[in-house]
Amino acid sequence: MQPSERSPSLGTPRAIVEDLVCFSHLRWDFVYQRPHHLMSRAVRDRRVYYVEEPLEDVAHPGLETRPDISGVTIVLPHVRRGSAPEDMRTLVELLFAAQQIQRYVAWYYTPMALASAPTASPVATVYDCMNELSAFAGAPPGVSDAERRLLQRADLVLAGGHSLYEAKRSLHLNMHEFPSSVDVDHFAAARFSRPNPSDQAAIPRPRIGFFGVLDERLDRELLAAIAERRPDWHFVMIGPVTKIDPAVLPIAANVHYLGPKRYAALPDYIAGWDVAMLPFARNEATRYISPTKTLEYLAAGRPVVSTSICDVVTPYGEMGLARIADTPEGFVDAIASTFHDREGDWLARADSALAEMSWDQTWSRISELLRAATIDGYVKTSAQSPLPAAANER
Protein backbone atom coordinates (compact mmCIF):
# COMPACT_ATOMS: atom_id res chain seq x y z
CA MET A 1 0.00 0.00 0.00
CA GLN A 2 1.55 3.27 -1.09
CA PRO A 3 0.75 6.83 0.02
CA SER A 4 -2.60 7.83 -1.40
CA GLU A 5 -2.72 9.13 -4.95
CA ARG A 6 -3.83 12.73 -5.32
CA SER A 7 -3.92 15.34 -8.04
CA PRO A 8 -1.35 18.09 -7.52
CA SER A 9 -2.98 21.47 -6.92
CA LEU A 10 -0.04 23.69 -7.80
CA GLY A 11 0.98 22.26 -11.15
CA THR A 12 3.81 20.08 -9.87
CA PRO A 13 4.38 16.69 -11.54
CA ARG A 14 3.80 14.56 -8.45
CA ALA A 15 1.05 12.00 -7.98
CA ILE A 16 1.07 11.28 -4.26
CA VAL A 17 0.38 12.99 -0.99
CA GLU A 18 3.23 12.11 1.34
CA ASP A 19 2.75 10.52 4.73
CA LEU A 20 3.09 12.70 7.81
CA VAL A 21 5.17 11.54 10.78
CA CYS A 22 4.60 13.71 13.84
CA PHE A 23 7.02 13.70 16.79
CA SER A 24 5.41 15.05 19.96
CA HIS A 25 6.18 15.48 23.65
CA LEU A 26 2.45 15.19 24.43
CA ARG A 27 0.67 11.89 24.94
CA TRP A 28 -2.21 11.51 22.52
CA ASP A 29 -4.46 10.34 25.36
CA PHE A 30 -3.61 13.37 27.52
CA VAL A 31 -5.49 16.66 27.17
CA TYR A 32 -7.05 17.20 23.74
CA GLN A 33 -5.31 20.21 22.22
CA ARG A 34 -3.55 21.67 19.18
CA PRO A 35 -1.81 18.51 17.89
CA HIS A 36 -5.08 16.57 18.03
CA HIS A 37 -6.98 19.22 16.09
CA LEU A 38 -4.35 19.49 13.36
CA MET A 39 -3.40 15.82 13.01
CA SER A 40 -7.05 14.71 12.90
CA ARG A 41 -7.49 17.03 9.93
CA ALA A 42 -4.20 16.09 8.26
CA VAL A 43 -5.30 12.43 8.21
CA ARG A 44 -8.18 13.26 5.87
CA ASP A 45 -5.89 13.05 2.85
CA ARG A 46 -2.76 11.23 4.04
CA ARG A 47 -1.52 8.68 6.51
CA VAL A 48 -0.51 10.25 9.82
CA TYR A 49 1.72 8.66 12.45
CA TYR A 50 1.87 10.32 15.85
CA VAL A 51 5.12 9.28 17.54
CA GLU A 52 5.09 9.88 21.28
CA GLU A 53 8.12 10.21 23.55
CA PRO A 54 9.36 6.76 24.54
CA LEU A 55 8.47 4.90 27.70
CA GLU A 56 11.62 3.92 29.57
CA ASP A 57 12.58 1.04 31.87
CA VAL A 58 11.16 -1.85 29.91
CA ALA A 59 12.76 -5.25 29.52
CA HIS A 60 11.92 -5.65 25.86
CA PRO A 61 12.25 -2.55 23.64
CA GLY A 62 9.87 -2.24 20.77
CA LEU A 63 7.05 -0.32 19.17
CA GLU A 64 3.43 -0.22 20.21
CA THR A 65 1.12 1.02 17.47
CA ARG A 66 -2.62 1.44 17.56
CA PRO A 67 -5.23 3.17 15.40
CA ASP A 68 -7.09 6.11 16.92
CA ILE A 69 -10.74 6.79 16.11
CA SER A 70 -9.56 9.92 14.28
CA GLY A 71 -7.64 7.79 11.78
CA VAL A 72 -4.26 8.78 13.18
CA THR A 73 -1.89 5.91 14.03
CA ILE A 74 -0.46 6.34 17.53
CA VAL A 75 3.10 5.09 17.95
CA LEU A 76 4.54 4.51 21.43
CA PRO A 77 8.21 3.44 21.52
CA HIS A 78 9.44 1.36 24.47
CA VAL A 79 13.13 1.70 25.35
CA ARG A 80 15.43 0.64 28.18
CA ARG A 81 16.25 3.25 30.79
CA GLY A 82 19.29 5.28 29.80
CA SER A 83 19.02 4.36 26.13
CA ALA A 84 20.75 6.53 23.55
CA PRO A 85 18.97 8.52 20.81
CA GLU A 86 20.26 5.93 18.35
CA ASP A 87 18.06 3.31 20.02
CA MET A 88 15.00 5.45 19.45
CA ARG A 89 16.10 6.07 15.86
CA THR A 90 16.29 2.32 15.30
CA LEU A 91 12.70 1.94 16.48
CA VAL A 92 11.52 4.77 14.23
CA GLU A 93 13.22 3.18 11.25
CA LEU A 94 11.51 -0.10 12.08
CA LEU A 95 8.22 1.80 11.91
CA PHE A 96 9.18 3.20 8.51
CA ALA A 97 10.05 -0.24 7.19
CA ALA A 98 6.95 -1.95 8.59
CA GLN A 99 4.60 0.75 7.30
CA GLN A 100 6.48 1.29 4.02
CA ILE A 101 6.87 4.99 4.73
CA GLN A 102 8.92 6.40 1.88
CA ARG A 103 7.92 9.96 1.01
CA TYR A 104 7.05 11.72 4.22
CA VAL A 105 6.75 15.03 6.04
CA ALA A 106 8.51 15.22 9.42
CA TRP A 107 6.39 17.30 11.79
CA TYR A 108 7.87 18.27 15.16
CA TYR A 109 6.28 19.52 18.37
CA THR A 110 9.42 18.83 20.37
CA PRO A 111 12.92 19.71 19.17
CA MET A 112 14.29 16.92 21.37
CA ALA A 113 12.99 14.34 18.89
CA LEU A 114 15.42 15.59 16.26
CA ALA A 115 18.21 13.52 17.85
CA SER A 116 16.33 10.31 17.05
CA ALA A 117 15.07 11.28 13.58
CA PRO A 118 15.31 8.57 10.90
CA THR A 119 18.19 8.65 8.45
CA ALA A 120 15.85 8.90 5.45
CA SER A 121 15.39 12.57 4.60
CA PRO A 122 11.83 13.91 4.68
CA VAL A 123 10.27 15.74 1.77
CA ALA A 124 9.76 18.63 4.19
CA THR A 125 10.36 19.37 7.85
CA VAL A 126 7.75 21.31 9.82
CA TYR A 127 8.22 22.76 13.30
CA ASP A 128 4.89 23.59 14.93
CA CYS A 129 6.08 25.68 17.86
CA MET A 130 3.08 25.76 20.15
CA ASN A 131 4.89 26.83 23.35
CA GLU A 132 8.22 28.05 24.65
CA LEU A 133 9.18 24.64 26.02
CA SER A 134 12.40 25.86 27.63
CA ALA A 135 10.33 27.96 30.07
CA PHE A 136 8.24 25.05 31.36
CA ALA A 137 8.94 23.26 34.61
CA GLY A 138 10.90 20.07 33.99
CA ALA A 139 12.07 21.15 30.54
CA PRO A 140 14.74 18.73 29.28
CA PRO A 141 18.29 20.09 29.30
CA GLY A 142 19.44 21.14 25.87
CA VAL A 143 15.97 21.97 24.52
CA SER A 144 17.08 25.47 23.42
CA ASP A 145 20.07 24.10 21.52
CA ALA A 146 17.87 21.42 19.96
CA GLU A 147 15.41 24.09 18.86
CA ARG A 148 18.18 26.03 17.13
CA ARG A 149 19.14 22.90 15.19
CA LEU A 150 15.52 22.24 14.28
CA LEU A 151 15.05 25.80 13.06
CA GLN A 152 18.09 25.35 10.80
CA ARG A 153 16.61 22.19 9.33
CA ALA A 154 12.95 23.23 9.10
CA ASP A 155 11.33 24.16 5.80
CA LEU A 156 8.23 25.59 7.48
CA VAL A 157 7.76 26.96 11.01
CA LEU A 158 4.39 27.64 12.62
CA ALA A 159 4.07 29.81 15.72
CA GLY A 160 1.14 28.95 17.99
CA GLY A 161 0.47 32.49 19.16
CA HIS A 162 1.20 36.15 18.49
CA SER A 163 3.66 36.62 21.36
CA LEU A 164 5.55 33.50 20.37
CA TYR A 165 5.65 34.64 16.74
CA GLU A 166 7.01 38.05 17.67
CA ALA A 167 9.69 36.47 19.86
CA LYS A 168 10.88 34.02 17.18
CA ARG A 169 10.02 35.54 13.81
CA SER A 170 13.62 36.64 13.17
CA LEU A 171 14.88 33.07 13.60
CA HIS A 172 13.40 31.64 10.39
CA LEU A 173 12.53 33.07 6.98
CA ASN A 174 9.45 30.88 6.52
CA MET A 175 7.72 31.34 9.88
CA HIS A 176 3.97 31.95 10.05
CA GLU A 177 1.66 32.94 12.88
CA PHE A 178 -1.13 30.45 13.57
CA PRO A 179 -2.73 31.15 16.95
CA SER A 180 -5.08 28.72 18.62
CA SER A 181 -8.33 28.07 16.80
CA VAL A 182 -11.64 26.55 17.85
CA ASP A 183 -14.21 23.91 16.98
CA VAL A 184 -17.17 26.28 17.27
CA ASP A 185 -19.91 23.71 16.74
CA HIS A 186 -18.53 21.46 19.44
CA PHE A 187 -18.48 24.12 22.15
CA ALA A 188 -21.57 26.03 20.98
CA ALA A 189 -23.57 23.03 22.20
CA ALA A 190 -22.98 24.44 25.71
CA ARG A 191 -25.33 27.33 24.89
CA PHE A 192 -28.29 24.97 25.02
CA SER A 193 -29.72 22.71 27.69
CA ARG A 194 -27.31 19.87 28.42
CA PRO A 195 -27.34 17.01 30.91
CA ASN A 196 -25.57 18.22 34.05
CA PRO A 197 -22.73 15.77 34.86
CA SER A 198 -23.27 13.97 38.13
CA ASP A 199 -20.08 15.27 39.75
CA GLN A 200 -21.06 18.87 38.99
CA ALA A 201 -24.82 18.76 39.53
CA ALA A 202 -24.66 19.15 43.31
CA ILE A 203 -22.29 22.14 43.19
CA PRO A 204 -24.27 25.33 43.96
CA ARG A 205 -24.37 28.30 41.62
CA PRO A 206 -23.02 30.64 40.55
CA ARG A 207 -20.28 28.43 39.13
CA ILE A 208 -17.05 29.89 37.75
CA GLY A 209 -15.17 27.27 35.77
CA PHE A 210 -11.77 26.42 34.33
CA PHE A 211 -10.61 23.46 32.27
CA GLY A 212 -7.03 22.72 31.37
CA VAL A 213 -3.84 21.30 32.82
CA LEU A 214 -3.27 22.24 36.47
CA ASP A 215 0.46 22.89 36.64
CA GLU A 216 2.96 25.67 37.36
CA ARG A 217 0.97 28.02 35.15
CA LEU A 218 -1.99 28.11 37.56
CA ASP A 219 -2.00 31.11 39.91
CA ARG A 220 -2.78 29.16 43.06
CA GLU A 221 -2.56 32.21 45.33
CA LEU A 222 -5.07 34.08 43.17
CA LEU A 223 -7.50 31.15 43.16
CA ALA A 224 -7.28 30.83 46.94
CA ALA A 225 -7.82 34.55 47.44
CA ILE A 226 -10.87 34.91 45.21
CA ALA A 227 -12.45 31.79 46.73
CA GLU A 228 -11.93 33.26 50.18
CA ARG A 229 -13.44 36.60 49.19
CA ARG A 230 -16.57 35.05 47.68
CA PRO A 231 -17.52 31.91 49.65
CA ASP A 232 -20.95 32.09 47.96
CA TRP A 233 -19.37 31.50 44.54
CA HIS A 234 -18.18 28.04 43.51
CA PHE A 235 -15.07 27.43 41.44
CA VAL A 236 -15.01 24.33 39.25
CA MET A 237 -11.53 23.14 38.22
CA ILE A 238 -11.36 20.49 35.49
CA GLY A 239 -8.14 18.88 34.33
CA PRO A 240 -5.18 16.70 35.31
CA VAL A 241 -2.61 17.83 37.88
CA THR A 242 0.92 17.64 36.47
CA LYS A 243 4.40 18.82 37.48
CA ILE A 244 3.15 20.13 40.84
CA ASP A 245 2.22 18.37 44.07
CA PRO A 246 -1.59 18.19 44.31
CA ALA A 247 -1.17 19.10 47.98
CA VAL A 248 -0.22 22.69 46.99
CA LEU A 249 -3.58 23.33 45.31
CA PRO A 250 -5.90 25.64 47.25
CA ILE A 251 -8.36 23.77 49.43
CA ALA A 252 -11.70 25.40 50.21
CA ALA A 253 -15.32 24.34 50.48
CA ASN A 254 -16.14 26.33 47.34
CA VAL A 255 -13.25 25.06 45.17
CA HIS A 256 -14.06 21.79 43.41
CA TYR A 257 -11.46 19.67 41.58
CA LEU A 258 -13.26 17.31 39.22
CA GLY A 259 -10.22 15.79 37.52
CA PRO A 260 -9.63 15.31 33.77
CA LYS A 261 -12.60 14.99 31.42
CA ARG A 262 -12.97 13.80 27.87
CA TYR A 263 -13.01 16.51 25.21
CA ALA A 264 -16.47 15.29 24.14
CA ALA A 265 -17.83 15.92 27.64
CA LEU A 266 -16.58 19.49 28.07
CA PRO A 267 -19.73 21.19 26.66
CA ASP A 268 -21.83 19.37 29.28
CA TYR A 269 -19.74 20.92 32.05
CA ILE A 270 -19.46 24.41 30.56
CA ALA A 271 -23.23 24.54 30.05
CA GLY A 272 -23.54 24.58 33.82
CA TRP A 273 -21.13 27.46 34.37
CA ASP A 274 -21.99 31.13 34.72
CA VAL A 275 -18.50 32.43 33.99
CA ALA A 276 -15.30 30.89 32.58
CA MET A 277 -11.92 31.93 33.89
CA LEU A 278 -8.23 31.85 33.04
CA PRO A 279 -6.46 32.23 36.40
CA PHE A 280 -2.95 31.96 34.98
CA ALA A 281 0.11 33.05 36.90
CA ARG A 282 2.31 35.62 35.23
CA ASN A 283 5.63 33.82 34.97
CA GLU A 284 8.07 32.52 32.38
CA ALA A 285 5.88 29.51 31.62
CA THR A 286 2.92 31.74 30.66
CA ARG A 287 4.84 34.50 28.91
CA TYR A 288 4.17 33.19 25.39
CA ILE A 289 1.07 31.02 25.83
CA SER A 290 -1.97 31.46 23.61
CA PRO A 291 -4.72 29.60 25.48
CA THR A 292 -7.00 27.66 23.17
CA LYS A 293 -9.62 27.67 25.91
CA THR A 294 -10.19 31.42 25.46
CA LEU A 295 -11.91 30.73 22.15
CA GLU A 296 -13.58 27.60 23.44
CA TYR A 297 -15.14 29.54 26.32
CA LEU A 298 -16.39 32.19 23.91
CA ALA A 299 -17.82 29.59 21.55
CA ALA A 300 -19.64 28.10 24.53
CA GLY A 301 -21.23 31.48 25.14
CA ARG A 302 -19.57 32.04 28.50
CA PRO A 303 -18.11 35.37 29.64
CA VAL A 304 -14.36 35.19 30.21
CA VAL A 305 -12.21 36.61 33.00
CA SER A 306 -8.45 36.25 32.69
CA THR A 307 -5.22 37.46 34.15
CA SER A 308 -3.15 39.65 31.83
CA ILE A 309 -1.79 36.96 29.52
CA CYS A 310 -0.53 38.85 26.47
CA ASP A 311 -2.36 36.72 23.88
CA VAL A 312 -5.61 37.09 25.82
CA VAL A 313 -5.29 40.84 26.40
CA THR A 314 -4.60 41.24 22.67
CA PRO A 315 -7.00 40.82 21.03
CA TYR A 316 -9.79 39.55 23.33
CA GLY A 317 -9.41 42.02 26.18
CA GLU A 318 -9.07 44.91 23.74
CA MET A 319 -12.19 43.72 21.89
CA GLY A 320 -14.19 43.61 25.10
CA LEU A 321 -14.61 39.83 24.86
CA ALA A 322 -12.60 39.07 27.99
CA ARG A 323 -12.24 41.00 31.21
CA ILE A 324 -8.67 41.30 32.49
CA ALA A 325 -7.61 41.46 36.14
CA ASP A 326 -4.54 40.39 38.12
CA THR A 327 -5.39 41.16 41.75
CA PRO A 328 -7.90 39.19 43.82
CA GLU A 329 -10.06 42.29 44.23
CA GLY A 330 -9.95 43.06 40.51
CA PHE A 331 -10.66 39.44 39.56
CA VAL A 332 -13.70 39.28 41.85
CA ASP A 333 -15.02 42.58 40.48
CA ALA A 334 -14.48 41.38 36.91
CA ILE A 335 -16.40 38.17 37.54
CA ALA A 336 -19.26 40.09 39.13
CA SER A 337 -19.41 42.38 36.09
CA THR A 338 -19.61 39.48 33.65
CA PHE A 339 -22.91 38.21 35.06
CA HIS A 340 -24.64 40.83 32.91
CA ASP A 341 -22.46 40.57 29.80
CA ARG A 342 -24.86 38.34 27.90
CA GLU A 343 -27.61 40.92 28.16
CA GLY A 344 -25.98 43.13 25.51
CA ASP A 345 -24.34 42.44 22.15
CA TRP A 346 -21.41 40.58 23.70
CA LEU A 347 -22.37 37.19 22.26
CA ALA A 348 -22.90 38.56 18.75
CA ARG A 349 -19.48 40.20 18.87
CA ALA A 350 -17.93 36.97 20.12
CA ASP A 351 -19.51 35.03 17.25
CA SER A 352 -18.22 37.57 14.75
CA ALA A 353 -14.67 37.19 16.10
CA LEU A 354 -14.88 33.39 15.98
CA ALA A 355 -16.19 33.24 12.41
CA GLU A 356 -12.70 33.17 10.87
CA MET A 357 -10.96 31.11 13.57
CA SER A 358 -12.04 27.51 13.07
CA TRP A 359 -9.54 24.66 13.08
CA ASP A 360 -10.77 23.70 9.60
CA GLN A 361 -9.83 27.14 8.29
CA THR A 362 -6.49 27.03 10.07
CA TRP A 363 -5.64 23.61 8.66
CA SER A 364 -6.64 24.75 5.18
CA ARG A 365 -4.18 27.65 5.36
CA ILE A 366 -1.45 25.45 6.80
CA SER A 367 -2.06 22.89 4.04
CA GLU A 368 -1.29 25.47 1.38
CA LEU A 369 2.02 26.30 3.06
CA LEU A 370 2.75 22.59 3.45
CA ARG A 371 2.10 21.97 -0.24
CA ALA A 372 4.59 24.66 -1.18
CA ALA A 373 7.17 23.23 1.21
CA THR A 374 6.73 19.67 -0.04
CA ILE A 375 6.92 20.71 -3.68
CA ASP A 376 10.31 22.23 -2.95
CA GLY A 377 11.16 19.11 -0.98
CA TYR A 378 10.48 16.80 -3.90
CA VAL A 379 13.10 18.67 -5.85
CA LYS A 380 15.60 18.35 -3.00
CA THR A 381 15.02 14.63 -2.42
CA SER A 382 14.35 13.45 -5.98
CA ALA A 383 17.75 11.77 -6.23
CA GLN A 384 17.31 9.76 -3.03
CA SER A 385 16.42 6.09 -3.06
CA PRO A 386 13.29 5.12 -1.15
CA LEU A 387 13.46 2.92 1.93
CA PRO A 388 13.20 -0.80 1.19
CA ALA A 389 9.64 -2.02 1.44
CA ALA A 390 8.81 -4.31 4.35
CA ALA A 391 7.65 -7.80 3.62
CA ASN A 392 4.54 -7.54 5.77
CA GLU A 393 1.39 -5.68 4.71
CA ARG A 394 0.50 -2.43 6.44
Residue-level pLDDT, tens digit, the chain, 394 residues? 444 443 333 334 444 689 999 999 999 999 999 999 999 999 999 999 999 999 987 778 899 999 999 999 999 999 988 787 788 999 999 999 999 999 999 999 999 999 888 988 999 999 999 988 877 777 778 889 999 999 999 999 999 999 999 999 999 999 999 998 999 999 999 999 999 999 999 999 999 999 999 999 999 999 999 999 999 999 999 999 999 999 999 999 999 999 999 999 999 999 999 999 999 999 988 999 999 999 999 999 999 999 999 999 999 999 999 999 999 999 999 999 998 776 678 899 999 999 999 999 999 999 999 999 988 654 454 444 333 333 232 2
Q: Do 165 and 190 belong to one domain?
A: no
Residue 200 makes CB contacts below 8 A (sequence gap 6+) with 207, 236, 256, 258, 269, 272
Nearest Cα neighbor of 191 from 263, 291, 297 is 297
Within-domain flag for 256: yes
pLDDT of residue 376: 66
Residues 147 and 203 in one domain: no
> pTM to 2 decimals?
0.89
3-state secondary structure of 106: strand
Residue 321 lies in a domain: yes
Answer whether residue 5 is part of any domain.
no
Question: Quick one: 34 and 158 in the same domain?
Answer: yes
Residues 47 and 151 in one domain: yes
Chain-centroid distance of CA 327 in Å reads 28
The pLDDT, as a whole number, for residue 85 is 79
Using CA atoms in the order 175, 180, 184, 189, what is the torsion angle rounded to 10 degrees?
160
Residue type, 329: E
Long-range CB contacts (< 8 A, 24+ apart) of 334-340? 334/305, 335/208, 335/226, 335/230, 335/233, 335/275, 335/277, 335/305, 338/275, 338/303, 338/304, 338/305, 339/206, 339/274, 339/275, 339/303
Asked whether residue 116 falls in the same domain as residue 147, the answer is: yes
In a domain, residue 266? The reply is: yes
Do 93 and 119 touch, CB atoms closer than 8 A?
yes
**Number of folded domains in the chain?**
2
Confirm whether 391 is domain-assigned.
no
Q: Looking at the structure, do residues 232 and 325 belong to the same domain, yes or no? A: yes
CATH number at residue 112: 3.40.50.2000
Q: 155 and 268 share a domain?
A: no
- Cα separation, 287 vs 311, whole angstroms: 9
113 & 41 share domain: yes
If asked whether residues 270 and 362 sit together in one domain, one would say no
Q: Is residue 388 part of a domain?
A: no
Is the peptide bond preceding residue 267 cis, with omega within 30 degrees of 0?
Answer: no
> Do residues 21 and 51 lie in contact, with contact meaning Cβ atoms separated by under 8 Å?
yes
Q: Residue 330's pLDDT is what?
A: 98
The whole-number pLDDT of residue 263 equals 97
Same domain assignment for residues 195 and 139: no
| Residue span of the structural domain in which 271 resides | 184-354
Say yes or no: 216 and 320 in one domain: yes
158: β partners: 128, 176
Query: Is the same domain home to 94 and 107?
Result: yes
Asked whether residue 14 is domain-assigned, the answer is no
Q: Quick check: helix, strand or coil at residue 237?
A: strand
Residue 45 lies in a domain: yes
